[in-house]
Structure formats: structure tokens, C-alpha cells
Amino acid sequence: MRLSALSSLLLGVLLQVSCGATPTPPLEMTTLHPGGDHETIAYHYRHEAMLARQQAEELAAQAVVYAQLFGLKSDWVSGTTLLVQFYQEIAQEQDRLAEQHLKLVNGRSFHEPADPKLVNLPH
């Protein structure tokens, strides 16, 4: 009985501590303010670039299969090829954004105007 009461008390304390923790605010991805968490933002953009490249590679392989099945001039091949280009462009843009934030982490001055695409992103 004593062990059960002690474990219940310990569980209650743990729940209190974990529920009482202050939630971390979301990252402000559009900020170019030098005090921001640019290393974390850059990591996020690099990760997204990697995922976009993976998607492009998978779609490129799929385009090869479609070419064998339907011919090189089929809509399947051309549509998939357009998607490959789209994901490659997304990866390049994500890399550019990561580099922009890494420059702020490394203390280099950054005087380029904010990208209008960044300013209009939903928060």
C-alpha cells in the first residue's frame, strides 16, 4: 500500500511539472533580425531542401518507368518531369533561405532587402 501511494504521489508531481512547463513560442521564420534563432531556421530550410531533393529523385525514377510504359512523349512523362523541376526549384529556394539565415548566424552583415515571398508567408 505504501509503495502504491508513493508511486501515485511521484506520478502526480511529474504530471504537475510537465504540464506546468512554459510552451516554447513558434519560430518566426520570416525574421531577418540578428537576434533570431537563425541556426534553427537554417536547419529547417536545409531539411526541407533535402526532402524536396528526395522527392525530385523519386519522381525522376518514376518518369523513367513511365517512359518505358507509355513512351517518352506521354503526358505521364512530361507531367512527372515538370514535377521534378518544381521540386528541384523548391530545393534551391530552401537552400537559398538557409544560406541567408546562416549568414546571420556567422555574424556577417546582411543588407539585402527582405524577400517579398518571405514577408507574405502565413505565420
Does 94 reside within a domain?
A: yes
State the pLDDT at residue 96: 95
Q: Name 64's Cβ contacts closer than 8 Å, sequence gap at least 6.
A: none
Tell me, yes or no, whether 68 lies in a domain: yes
Domain membership flag for residue 60: yes
pLDDT of residue 104: 80
Flag whether 37 is in a domain.
yes
Q: Which pLDDT score, from 0 to 100, does residue 55 have?
A: 98
In a domain, 23, yes or no: no
Reported as half-sphere exposure (CB side, CA atoms, 13 A), residue 110 has a value of 20
Kindly tell me the sign of the dihedral angle through the C-alpha atoms of 84, 89, 94, 96.
positive
- How many separate domains does the chain show? 1
Residue 117 resides in a domain: no
Residues 51-60: tens digit of each pLDDT: 999 999 999 9
Domain containing 102 equals: 29-107
Give me the pLDDT at residue 18, please. Answer: 55
Residue 58 placed within a domain:
yes
Mark the ranges of the chain whose per-residue pLDDT is less than 50.
Answer: 21, 25, 109-123
